[in-house]
Amino acid sequence: MRRDTIFDLASLTKPIATTTAIMLLVEEGSISLDDPVAKSLPAFADRGKENVTIRHLLCHAAGLKPWRGFHELLIEKERKTGERLIGTKEGRDWILDRVLRSALVHEPGAAAVYGDLDFIVLGALVEAVSKQPLDEFCESRIFTRLALHDTRFFPIPTDGSPAAPEVVRRRVAALPATDYDRFENNISWERVYVTF
């Protein structure tokens, strides 16, 4: 390890990028923590989720299933159709549609269960409110302002090439798992890389 080693933040993306982005939108008055999620994402109201708030999502207490193997469903869909979906806008939209329209597994606020789906919804909410992709919002509003020059999202490439350029890949800790595990994350906004 060197002083310029880059680390995959994986689920630390939730507090470092997504939560910070949500709190910036709260601070500027664009949203409130107690707003229903469906106010910004109308499709989320389906299947009894109209009372789920942004606060519920942030606290992992919305009642959504904590995790679903969307990558497995996309792989199966790719095998059947021959169409490339993982890492594409179509694949991302397909997953997001299923998350937004999913049913609750418990009442909002009844339990706190750590999971990914809450934060997939929060990422979509940031995009809907800011009218900007989450990675661009975080780049301009968080990473650049904090001078985090090596903190960024690397989208999953659709052509099988590495997610990061070679000059960056040489600095990333724990290769090859970090770079080649293209199926682990359901949506490309889930992954942030950083140096401290």
Identify the CA nearest to 101 among candidates 174, 38, 148: 38
Give alpha helix (H) positions in the chain. 13, 20-27, 54-58, 70-81, 89-100, 117-130, 134-138, 166-169, 177-180
Which member of 11, 30, 130, 140 is catalytic? Answer: 11
Residues 64, 52: Cα–Cα separation, whole Å: 10
Please indicate whether residue 11 is annotated as part of the active site: yes
Residue 132 CB contacts under 8 Å (≥ 6 apart), including other chains: 140
Eight-state DSSP code of residue 157: P
For the chain, give the number of residues: 196
Q: Which two tokens stand for residue 19?
A: 């939560």
Give alpha helix (H) positions in 101-172. 117-130, 134-138, 166-169
Residues 111, 92: Cα–Cα separation, whole Å: 28
State the catalytic residues.
11
